[in-house]
Amino acid sequence: MGLNDEIKRRRTFAIISHPDAGKTTLTEKLLLFGGAIHVAGAVRSNKIRKTATSDFLEIEKQRGISVATSVMSFDYKGIKINILDTPGHKDFAEDTYRTLTAVDSVILVIDSVKGVEEQTRRLMEVCRMRATPVMIFINKMDREGKDPFDLLEELGEELHIAVTPFTWPAGMGSNFKGVYNIFKKNIQLYTPEKSNLSELLMETGDISDPMLKEYVGPEILRQLLEETELTTGLYETFQKNLYLEGYLAPVFFGSALNNTGVLELLETFIEIAPPPTPSESYERAVSPDETDFSGYIFKIHANLDPRHRNRMAFMRVCSGVFERNKMFYHTRLKRKMRFSSPAEFIANTRSTIDEAYPGDVIGLYDTGSLKIGDTLTEGEFLHFRGVPNFAPELLREVINRDPSKSKQLDKGVRQLTDEGLAQLFLQQPGNRKIIGTVGELQFDVIKFRLEHEYGALCDLQPLTYVKALWFTFDDPSELKEFSNRKASLIAYDKDNAPVFFAESEWMIKIMRDAYPSLRFHKAAESFRIS
């Protein structure tokens, strides 16, 4: 199979949602349909919850939340599907934002009981910024939730996107029987098995089929007929070009826990979701069908396997063919590297691969040479856009509680911040380590992992600063004066770029007024290219 054929058969997407909307459960059911796994973890209360397939960190198992992006690949009907299951919690939004740079489309999961929530809006803003195609799965229809028409109206108003229903629920809550496929004009009913794939009870294209009335009940069937007729005049006619441009979202109803409506979503996804699209670099646009390989690192994870203390860099292949053991050019370090064991993932299991094609997300074993945002090519000097570090608003100093474990603490802090979990700043004198995050929960995760993965105990002492901002000066003399006068408020990130610790928004304004050539930056990517 040639390069173009491999590109056409790939679909790379992220599943995003507000916490507890059910995206990890949906991910597992997609994997079940693809034959990639055979039993899914049931999402129950945190204490008795079986571990979900895509949540492999110990803290995720204990808390019942996803705090890191998981990468999974499988084949379905000849299509190679790459799923990135992202954290839902707002404190880990930065990891999700970076993940969205590595996908070609998105499935947004909505809780039918709660509707659009705060994190849902933020995630959609990022999708709109990148014009990412979005499909919406309204989950938990087996619970008593909002009216489907009200949900669709809420989606349009709150997320500022046109919607068109592809499926429609037959009943709701305890009376939820299945979904009617509006576009294929058929209905499939399944037994409500929760752990594995449900068995098909019946399928018919005739909504007046007597057997359908027997299974669904006359009242639910009557309501289904009335509501599906209404949808024809109320909602946008599906136009694929509007979906691909990010203006129109197909909507699916179902219950991921009960495997209802998931197959309809998957079947439609492989038909209309885009294959790999061009990637923007600072130098030029890179098309996936170019013969020369290029790719970039968007995530790093230390201790993916605690037994081996390995470090894995996740790379999106942008063009050409990645080959095992071939020498590739690292544009930041300006030297060549070889990867002998590139990996493909199904959650916490992985296998070594020989080749990867545009759209694929693969893992590269790393000893510390790779950072988030790094580009690999066959020799061309490229820097891909869109993998930023954001200005943190919560800052804490690392206080070592066990001086005998100083080396372990230093290694752990550096590796965890290399993952993008938080920002690390060093301040002199004394080589003070200051960690910056966008959410409180990140500090809990860092402390937990430092103790359990590195054997290092520490306190994270709160600081009074409201923001850490990167800065540059157009006037070197102003830079020198500023650096001398404000030395106690200046630290350096892992790349030795200076940051200013602002004590208030008023202080930021005062500094701008006092130094006309000073420019503050909310994201490191906006001004730094090696």
Strand, helix or coil at 315? Answer: strand
Strand, helix or coil at 29? Answer: helix
Output DSSP code: residue 319: E
The residue written with tokens 């200013």 in the block is 500
**Model pTM?**
0.79
Looking at residue 47, what is its pLDDT?
31
**CATH number listed for the domain at residues 3-272:** 3.40.50.300
**CATH number listed for the domain at residues 279-377:** 2.40.30.10
Phi and psi dihedrals of 112, rounded to 5?
Answer: -65, -20
Which CATH entry fits the domain spanning 394-526: 3.40.50.920, 1.20.1250.40, 3.30.1130.10, 3.30.70.3280?
Answer: 3.30.70.3280
Q: What angle do CA 363, 366, 370 make, to 5 degrees?
A: 95
Output DSSP code: residue 436: E
Instruction: Identify the H or E element spanning 375.
Output: strand 375-377
Q: Are strands 423-427 and 322-323 parallel, antiparallel or unpaired?
A: unpaired
- Distance separating alpha carbons of residues 422 and 323, to the nearest angstrom: 32
Paired strand residues for 206:
none
Instruction: Identify the H or E element spanning 209.
Output: none
| Beta strands in 89-205, from DSSP E residues, in sequence order | 105-111, 134-139, 162-165, 167-170, 178-181, 186-190, 200-204
Over the chain (530 residues), the average pLDDT of each successive run of 10 is 94 89 88 72 34 47 49 90 73 68 94 90 82 96 94 94 94 90 83 61 70 82 88 88 96 92 94 95 95 93 62 92 97 95 77 94 88 93 79 90 94 85 88 88 87 92 92 95 95 90 94 96 60
Looking at residue 492, what is its pLDDT?
94
Structure-token pair, residue 179:
């979904």
Whether 164 and 250 have beta carbons less than 8 Å apart is answered as: yes
A 10 A CB-CB count for 413 gives 21
Looking at residue 54, what is its pLDDT?
46
Q: Select from 274, 16, 22 the least CA-distant residue to 139.
A: 22
Looking at residue 209, what is its pLDDT?
73
Looking at residue 510, what is its pLDDT?
96
**What ranges do the domains of the chain cover?**
3-272, 279-377, 394-526
